[in-house]
Structure 1
Amino acid sequence: MQGPFKRGGQQKPMGEINVVPFIDVMLVLLVIFMITAPMLNQGVDVELPQVNSEPIESQDDSDPIIISIDREGAYHISLGDEATQVSLDEITSRVNAILGQRPDTPVMVRGDQSVAYGEVVVLMSTLQRSGVANVGLISEPPRNE
C-alpha cells in the first residue's frame, strides 16, 4: 500500500511552496483597494480659482486651519484630515479654541470660484473678529489644456 505519506524508495518530500493561495489573496485585496480608494476622497469638493502665483513657504510643520466654502455656501472647517460642516457662528468658537491651544497655527480660506465675493469677505471678517491676524487664500495653478 503506497499512500502520499509513505516514504518509499521512489517518492521524495516536496520542497516547493504553493503560492496560488497567496496570489488569490493578493488579487482580492487589490480589488478591495481599487473599489475603496475613490471613496476615501477627503475634504470638501471645492473648485478653486486658478491663478499664477508663488506658493507660500510654511514656517512650521503644523497643520493649518482650513475653512472652506463650497458652491452651496456651506462652511467646512478642517484641521488635519477631518473636515466638519459648521455654521458661520460656530467658526469663531472653533478657531478660538484651536488658536488658544496653538497660537501660531496658520489660517487658510478655500472658496469655490462660484461663491459670491461677499460670502468670502463675510468669512474673513468673522475670522478677524475671532482674533486671526493673517488669513491665507488657497488657489490652484492654471491648467494647461
Structure 2
Amino acid sequence: MHGPFNRMGRRKPMNEINVVPFIDVMLVLLVIFMITAPMLTQGVQVDLPQTPSEPIEDSESREPIIVSVDRDGQLFVSLGGDDTAVDLDEVARRVQVLLERQPGTQVLVRGDRHVAYGQIVTLMSTLQSAGVANVGLISEPPPGEA
C-alpha cells in the first residue's frame, strides 16, 4: 500500500514545509515598502543651497533633529516625520525636550536658499540658547557632483 498512510492507518509525518504562504506575504510587504518608501523622504519642501562639502561623519546611529525653514520662513522641527509649523519659541522648547531625552543628538538646520540670512542666524542663536552645542547646516551638492 502506497501513499501517506502506513499499514496501521496512521499518517506519515510530512518532512517538507509549504513556503507558498510565506512568499505571498513577502511579496505583499515588498509592494507596501516600495509604495511607502518615497513618501518617507517627503517632508518640508526646502530649496537647499548648493555647495561642495564633505558629509558629516556620524559616530552615533541616532537620527538627528532637523529644523527646517521653508521659503516662507516657517519653522519645522522634525524627528521621525512630524512636520507641523511652529514658532521660534516652540522650536527651542521642542529641541530642548528632545535633547533631554536623548543627549548628544545632532541638530541640523535645513534652510531654504531664499530665506534671509538673519532668520537663519536667529534660529541658530535660539538653538544655542536651548542647549545645542553644535548646529550643522544641510546643503546639496552642485549638479554634476555626488
| 2-structure distance, mates of 1:84, 1:99 | 19
User: CA RMSD for the aligned pairs?
Assistant: 2.2
The residue aligned with 1:108 is 108
The residue aligned with 1:48 is 48
| 1-structure distance, mates of 2:136, 2:38 | 29
The residue aligned with 1:99 is 99
Tell me the matched-pair count.
Answer: 114
The residue aligned with 2:124 is 124
| 2-structure distance, mates of 1:93, 1:69 | 17
The residue aligned with 2:59 is 59
The residue aligned with 2:23 is none
| 1-structure distance, mates of 2:40, 2:59 | 29
Q: Which amino acid counterpart does residue 46 of structure 1 have in structure 2?
A: V
Shift of 1:42: 2.4
Q: State TM-score, norm by structure 2.
A: 0.71
Q: State TM-score, norm by structure 1.
A: 0.71
Structure 2 segments unaligned to the other structure (5+ residues): 1-30
- Pick closer, same or farther for the CA change 1:59–1:129 going to 2, 3 Å: same
The alignment partner of 2:96 has SS state of: helix
| 2-structure distance, mates of 1:143, 1:94 | 35
| 2-structure distance, mates of 1:39, 1:134 | 29
Structure 1 segments unaligned to the other structure (5+ residues): 1-29
Shift of 1:67: 0.2
Deviations 1:67-86 (A, max 9, x none): 00000000011002332211
| 2-structure distance, mates of 1:128, 1:135 | 8
The alignment partner of 2:83 has SS state of: strand
Deviations 1:72-130 (A, max 9, x none): 00001100233221111101110111001101110000000000100000000000111
Percent identity, aligned pairs only, is: 58
The residue aligned with 2:141 is 141
Whether the 8 Å contact between 1:64 and 1:80 is mirrored in structure 2 is no
Max Rg structure: 1
Q: Which amino acid counterpart does residue 77 of structure 1 have in structure 2?
A: V
The alignment partner of 2:77 has SS state of: strand
The residue aligned with 2:3 is none
Range moving further from structure 2, 59-68 or 81-90: 81-90
Shift of 1:38: 7.1
